Amino acid sequence: MSRREAVVTQTMAGTNRQGGFILWFTGMSGAGKSTLSTAVRRRLEGGHSVEVLDGDEVRTFLSRGLGFTRPDREENIRRIGYVARVLARHRVAVVSAAISPYRESRNEVRRLATEAGIPFIEVYAQASLEALVQRDVKGLYKKALAGEIPHFTGISDPYEPPESPEVTVRTDSETVEAGVERILAVLRERGLTA
């Protein structure tokens, strides 16, 4: 190994002393998962290798062909959980932002991560239905409430809120900055970030 390669290797090791972990955002459509996860990613970069697994992108590239039945939604979450574990084993801070409506599926992802020795932090992005309807520029909630969209999470399909997430961010009454600070505080408390 050349001197330059050794310096680069030392530098990389120094900026990523922490091991990988999974930061799992859950919440209904429009609750702020992507906004929060993007803000957290920005704050983690520089001290960690960070990868965001966005639910919409995963459906496009990893889970194409899956529908919105319960078995398909559960399979989608299993796939995200698997990719998250693989990345976290390689010292990546994985930020997942997917509705993940079923408690059982989320708990399975947590269990498998824990069994693999990977820290798992669940963040619940919570907002009232009224706030979600107001934010919805596409009008999907109004259509779902009118019965025009089948299998819409939280309206015609269930959303099961987490029972004891590590962090709950009330995105209808709390600023993004305040939510991000509370999430980072939990990561620091657990020794996952400096």
Rounded to the nearest 5 degrees, what angle is found at the Cα of 137, between the Cα atoms of 134 and 143?
80
Local confidence band at 52 (pLDDT 50, 70, 90 cut-offs): very high
| Rounded percentage of the chain residues whose pLDDT exceeds 70 | 91
Which of these, 123, 100, 171, 104, lies nearest to 23 by C-alpha position? 123
Asked if residue 167 is part of any domain, the answer here is yes
- Choose between 58 and 95: higher pLDDT: 95
Of 37-46, 47-56, 124-133, minimum mean pLDDT range:
47-56
Residue 4, pLDDT > 90, answer no
Catalytic: which of 29, 63, 96, 100?
100
Q: How many domains does the chain have?
A: 1
pLDDT class of 194 with cuts at 50, 70, 90: confident
Contact 88/21 with Cβ under 8 angstroms?
Answer: yes
Averaged pLDDT, 30-44 = 95
Percent of the chain with pLDDT over 90: 74
Is the residue at 135 inside a domain? yes
In a domain, 76, yes or no: yes
Q: Which two tokens stand for residue 4?
A: 């330059």
pLDDT band per the 50, 70, 90 thresholds, residue 28:
very high
34: in domain: yes
Per residue in 162-178, pLDDT (tens digit) is: 999 999 999 999 999 99
CA distance 77 to 192: 23
Question: What is the distance between the alpha carbons of residues 152 and 141, in angstroms, rounded to a whole number?
Answer: 8
- Give tens-digit pLDDT for 59-99: 777 777 787 888 888 999 999 999 999 999 999 999 999 99
Q: Is residue 172 assigned to a domain?
A: yes
- Is 49 annotated in the active site? no
Examine residue 20 and state whether it is found in any structural domain, yes or no: yes
- Residue 68 lies inside a defined structural domain of this protein: yes
CATH (domain of 126): 3.40.50.300
pLDDT of residue 48: 84
**How many DSSP H helices and E strands does the chain contain?**
8, 5
**What rounded mean pLDDT belongs to the chain?**
87
State the Cα–Cα distance between residues 150 and 100, nearest whole angstrom: 17
In a domain, 194, yes or no: no
Domain span at residue 129 reads 3-189
